[in-house]
Amino acid sequence: MKLEDEIMQKKFKSEHHKLIVNIIFTGNWVNASSIKFLKRFGISPQQYNLMRILRGRHPESASITLLTERMLDKMSNASRLVEKLKKKELVERIECPHDRRKVEVSINEKGLELLKEIDGNENEKNFKNLSVAEAKQLNILLDKFRG
């Protein structure tokens, strides 16, 4: 559906202004869709992102600092997310014996299995209207947009 119809606005100051509104609207739409999709697995998009980072480093662990740097949502509290995932028994938290402030985190087998299940139900159906070539072009344009 066209942006104008979605937000019931027919005029914009310029095409660039419309683009900004469209990116914000679309980002919120994708986020809402991700929340709905991941809810059935009992995790949030931020927890999913953290688990994907840990899977990419597996079998090595990661510091809270590294997780924070690599998170997509820079406003997320990695320490809090780790604690939630630990309570769900999806990650392991390893305290440094010499420095209690230093913590390493690694994904465990249960966490890896959950990611496999999520991957098997991938949320890519939202992008069925785009061909692979169009998705590639959109990725290029979004990278260019961010400079």
* Sheet containing 91-95, strands listed edge to edge, beginning at the edge strand earlier in sequence: 62-63, 103-107, 91-95
Average of per-residue pLDDT values in the chain = 92
Whether residue 47 is predicted with pLDDT greater than 90 in this model: the reply is: yes
CATH topology of domain 42-121: Arc Repressor Mutant, subunit A (1.10.10)
Question: Over the stretch 68-101, which tens digit does the pLDDT of each residue have?
Answer: 999 998 888 999 999 999 999 999 998 877 777 7
pTM of the model: 0.86
Domain residue ranges of the chain, discontinuous segments joined by +: 1-39, 42-121
How far apart are the C-alpha atoms of 63 and 96, rounded to whole Å? 11
Determine the pLDDT at residue 124: 72
Question: Over the stretch 100-120, which tens digit does the pLDDT of each residue have?
Answer: 778 899 999 999 999 999 987
CA quadruple 106, 110, 112, 115: dihedral sign: negative
Structure tokens at 105: 């985190």
Whether residue 121 is predicted with pLDDT greater than 90 in this model: the reply is: no
